[in-house]
Amino acid sequence: MKANRLVLAGSFCWNKDCPNNGLVDHGNIVKYGRTGKSTQRLKCTTCEKVFVENKGTVFYVRHHNPKEILECLAMVAERNSLASIHRIKGIHWSSVKRRIAMRQRSR
Ligand SMILES: [Zn+2]
Tens of pLDDT along the chain (107 residues)? 566 778 888 889 999 999 999 899 899 999 999 998 888 999 999 999 999 998 888 788 777 788 888 888 899 889 998 888 889 888 877 777 776 666 555 54
What pLDDT shows up at residue 69?
84
CA 99 to centroid of ligand 1, rounded, Å: 27
Dihedrals φ, ψ of 65, to 5°? -75, 160
CA 102 to centroid of ligand 1, rounded, Å: 24
What pLDDT shows up at residue 94?
78
Alpha carbon distance 50, 29 (integer Å): 9
CA 1 to centroid of ligand 1, rounded, Å: 26
Instruction: Specify the pTM.
Output: 0.68
Residues in the chain: 107
